[in-house]
Structures are given as C-alpha cells and as structure tokens.
Amino acid sequence: MSEGDSVGDSVHGKPSVVYRFFTRLGQIYQSWLDKSTPYTAVRWVVTLGLSFVYMIRVYLLQGWYIVTYALGIYHLNLFIAFLSPKVDPSLMEDSDDGPSLPTKQNEEFRPFIRRLPEFKFWHAATKGILVAMACTFFEAFNVPVFWPILVMYFIMLFCITMKRQIKHMIKYRYIPFTHGKRTYRGKDDAGKTFAS
C-alpha cells in the first residue's frame, strides 16, 4: 500500500487536518457520553426536556406531523427492544443450548438482560429527538397530512404492540423491571470479635 492510501492520510503520510478534527470531535463526544453514564435521572430529564421543546416547536409551527409520527414509531420500537430479553425465550423453548429465564420458584436466579440496555436506549432516543428537531428546519419534511388520523393510528399501533409484549411477558414469566437478586437479612451477630 502506498502513502496516502489509508483512510484519513494525506499525501505525506500524516493524518489530514479534517481527519484529525473529526477524530478529536469524536473523542470529545465519547468523553461526554462516558461522563454522563452514572447520571441516569439527569440524562432522562434532559431528554424529556428536549422532547418537550420539540413538541412545542411542532405545535407552534403547525406542521412536520410526519416527522413527529416517525419519531413516535422509532421511540416505540426502542421501548419494545428495551422491554424485551436479549435471548427470546420463545426461540429457546425447544433447545437446551443456552441460558433461559427461570420458570419455577426453586430455579436458579438469572438476571434479566435486555436486548437494548438503558444507556443505549437513552442515547438512541435523544439522537432521534435531535434529528427530528433538525428536520423541522427544512420545509421538504413538512408534508401536509391530516394529523388526527396519524394520532389515532399511533395509539392503535401502541396498544396492539404493548398488548403483544405484555402477553409475551406473561407467557414466559419475565418482568423487565427487576432490581437484582433478593437479599435476606440474617440474624444479628451479638458475639464478641476476636480482635480485641
């Protein structure tokens, strides 16, 4: 391979200015994401705030209903992935190859592992809101539609999808909102310690 053939290389073998700029920008973005990881409540409050600002913008502009509908479908898809187990128990029913969810009280505890983890759910939902917000600045995305039909269709789609998901949860006995294994308190130790 000759000089300048690899991605981002200039003619002289050094990374180009544009490549270095976007690499540095990506590092800064990833650093902010890493710093925000432990602050779950703050992240979701910011996302809800962005979503509120987006709704106000759509209301005031009286348009971009298709973009809003697409955003709602995208968020519904993310939510279903968030509620679903990583390994679908309906596919594991006949095979004994991998781990399965416990179905009896005396079976070993296995934590619920999501198909879409909370952080990725938040990140994708926030990016979706920002992309939808950016779309409201372009008139090409303002397709004239009768919005009440979109609202009714979304509500119907939401109800059908959630009904199917809840039936799946009941059938395979999993709850996506567990907080880990139960801990039991033993007797308080009233004895003396040996290190006196």
Any domain includes 183:
no
Quickly list DSSP for 128-154: HHHHHHHHTT-GGG-----HHHHHHHH
Any domain includes 152:
yes
Any domain includes 24:
no
Q: Which two tokens stand for residue 6?
A: 């690899």
- Per-10-residue mean pLDDT of the chain, 196 residues long, equals 52 82 94 93 96 96 94 96 84 58 60 86 97 96 92 95 91 74 62 58
Any domain includes 55:
yes
Any domain includes 106:
no
pTM of full prediction above 0.85 = no
Residue 114, beta-bridge partner list: 85
Q: What are phi and psi of 178, to 5 degrees?
A: -85, 155
Q: Is 32 exposed, middle or buried (0-12, 13-18, 19+ CB in 10 A)?
A: exposed
Any domain includes 135:
yes
Count the domains in the chain: 1
* 65-83 and 40-61 helices, crossing angle to 10°: 160
Distance of alpha carbon 76 from its chain centroid, rounded?
Answer: 10
- Give the dihedral of Cα atoms 38, 41, 46, 49; nearest 10 deg: 170
Q: Which domain holds residue 153?
A: 48-89+112-172
Give the C-alpha separation, 125 to 141, whole Å.
Answer: 20
Any domain includes 189:
no
pLDDT of 93 reads 60
Any domain includes 26:
no
Give the C-alpha separation, 103 to 92, whole Å.
Answer: 13
pLDDT of 1 reads 47
pLDDT of 9 reads 54
Give the C-alpha separation, 187 to 104, whole Å.
Answer: 28
Nearest to 74 by CA among 129, 146, 114: 129
Give the C-alpha separation, 157 to 164, whole Å.
Answer: 11
